[in-house]
Amino acid sequence: MEFSAKQIAELLNGEIVGNSDIKVNKLAKIEEAEANSLSFLANLAYEDYLYTTNASIVIINKNFTPKKTINNSCTLIKVDNAYECFAKLLKTYNQLKNNKLGIESGAFVAEKSKIGKDVYIAAFAYISDDATIGNNTKIYPHVYIGDHVKIGDNTIIFSGVKIYHECVIGSNCIIHAGAVIGSDGFGFAPTSTGEYSKIPQIGNVVIEDNVEIGPNCCIDRATLGSTMIKKGVKLDNLVHIAHNVVVGENTVLAGQTGISGSSKIGKNCMTGGQVGISGHLTIGDNVKIAGQSGVSKNIKNDMIIQGSPAFAMKEYFRAYVGFKNLPDIITRLNELEKKAEKNG
């Protein structure tokens, strides 16, 4: 795909300084850019690269004034916010790159399924009975869509995703390779013989609009009712959501976070990597949980917590100072005990 500076400026409502006809066919970081590539400068820590870059087009902020002469072969496009505009271009480029249509040979689409307009279904994908696929949705190779699954419009499901029966996926979602949606929750009842009897998991998973799920995430179906991923949620790689969990709107969970069954996570929360949350807890809105924390009790709105078990971050730092000094404290205590014994 090739675009001229004029086309890019029109898309971004930008002002061209240089050759409006110059064209680019790839995107690159400003320090690595080659000829025919498009880059951007938003962080002034990278300003020096502007004067040495080989990029054909660079997007800059309107209020930026270069300190040195810029290569004549480099065209600038001035915009209100270079970072946001470059992100917009990345999104547009990605949409164009993935704009595939049609059902490829080798895909299985059940006769009773309902397929929308402008859909792409790749070879070796499997669409089961009574599944509903929305308009402009893309389904890549080796995806399995179970019976009665509903998928909204403009959703992308990458290779190897498995979506079990009766789950619901909203519109404008992205589910990355290897994710499993709707596998059985971890429900077993101990018997008198010491064995475990499986409890049927007859609920489903409901994922609302504008959700992105990273590779190899696992979201378990509910025992009864639904495991809920609310709109705008973003899950990093290898996140596990157990049965009957609710993740609130616009919450972001970093890699290897695990949430145990029936816990409720509020809106606009953030977790660092490897956070563990016990079952049947309520985490309030706007909560931030530092990486590798273990949460074992309910958390109120707006708290920032750390540790295992996790507690308020300010208290954690005070406690950690004491923890770091423990070796010295123990040494001093031993010396005092020896003196006391000697004098006693």
* pLDDT tens per residue across span 176-189: 999 999 999 999 99
Residues 126 and 45 in one domain: no
Rounded to the nearest 10°, the torsion over CA 3, 9, 10, 11 is: 70
Counting residues of the chain whose pLDDT is more than 70, the rounded percentage is 100
In a domain, 323, yes or no: no
CA distances from 83 to 8, 13, 79, 159 (A): 14, 14, 9, 30
- The token duo for 201 is 């998991």
Residues 124 and 79 in one domain: no
Residues 18 and 130 in one domain: no
- Give the domain CATH number at 229: 2.160.10.10
Residue 59's domain comprises 3-97
In a domain, 327, yes or no: no
Residues 86 and 180 in one domain: no
**31, 65, 97 - which closes a domain:** 97
Catalytic-role residue among 142, 148, 176, 243: 243
Q: pLDDT tens, 87-122?
A: 999 888 887 877 889 999 999 999 999 999 999 999
Residues 257 and 132 in one domain: yes
Mean of the pLDDT values across residues 12-19? 95
Mean of the pLDDT values across residues 81-91? 92
Catalytic annotation on 165?
no
Mean of the pLDDT values across residues 300-319? 86
> Residue 236, CB half-sphere, CA atoms under 13 Å: how many?
13
36 class by beta-carbon count within 10 Å (0-12 exposed, 13-18 middle, 19+ buried): middle
Strand partners for 258: 240, 276
248, amino acid identity: G
- Give the domain CATH number at 9: 3.40.1390.10
**72, 97, 122 - which closes a domain:** 97
Maximum CA pair distance of the chain? 93
**46, 81, 97 - which closes a domain:** 97
Cβ(78)–Cβ(96) under 8 Å? no
Q: pLDDT tens, 26-76?
A: 999 999 999 999 999 999 999 999 999 999 999 999 999 999 889 888 999
Residues 274 and 288 in one domain: yes
In a domain, 310, yes or no: yes
Q: pLDDT tens, 233-286?
A: 999 999 999 999 999 999 999 999 999 999 999 999 999 999 999 999 999 999
Using the predicted structure, report yes or no on whether residue 322 has a pLDDT greater than 80. no
In a domain, 232, yes or no: yes
- CA 24 to chain centroid, in Å, comes to 29
Residues 142 and 91 in one domain: no
Whether omega for the bond prior to residue 309 falls within 30 degrees of 0, making it cis, is yes
In a domain, 324, yes or no: no
Counting residues of the chain whose pLDDT is more than 90, the rounded percentage is 83
- The token duo for 129 is 């009975």
Residues 229 and 307 in one domain: yes
At residue 85, φ and ψ (nearest 5 deg) are -70, -40
Worst-scoring range by mean pLDDT, 166-180, 183-197, 291-305, 319-333?
319-333
**What pLDDT does 323 receive?**
74
Cβ(111)–Cβ(131) under 8 Å? no
Residues 142 and 86 in one domain: no
Cβ(66)–Cβ(49) under 8 Å? no
Residues 79 and 127 in one domain: no
In a domain, 336, yes or no: no
In a domain, 331, yes or no: no
Residues 70 and 139 in one domain: no
At residue 179, φ and ψ (nearest 5 deg) are -70, 145
- pTM score, whole prediction: 0.83
Number of domains in the chain: 2
Mean of the pLDDT values across residues 300-304? 96
Q: pLDDT tens, 118-156?
A: 999 999 999 999 999 999 999 999 999 999 999 999 999
DSSP per-residue string spanning 26-89: EE--TTT--TTEEEEE-SGGGHHHHTT---SEEEEETT---SSPPPTT-EEEEES-HHHHHHHH
Using the predicted structure, report yes or no on whether residue 311 has a pLDDT greater than 80. no
Closest CA to 239 of 249, 252, 228: 252
User: Where are the alpha helices (H) located in the chain, listed in sequence order?
Assistant: 5-12, 47-50, 82-97, 313-324, 326-343
Task: Report d(CA 89, CA 10) in Å as an integer.
Answer: 12
In a domain, 73, yes or no: yes
Residues 240 and 177 in one domain: yes
Average pLDDT of the residues of the chain: 94
- The token duo for 259 is 């949430």
**What pLDDT does 344 receive?**
65
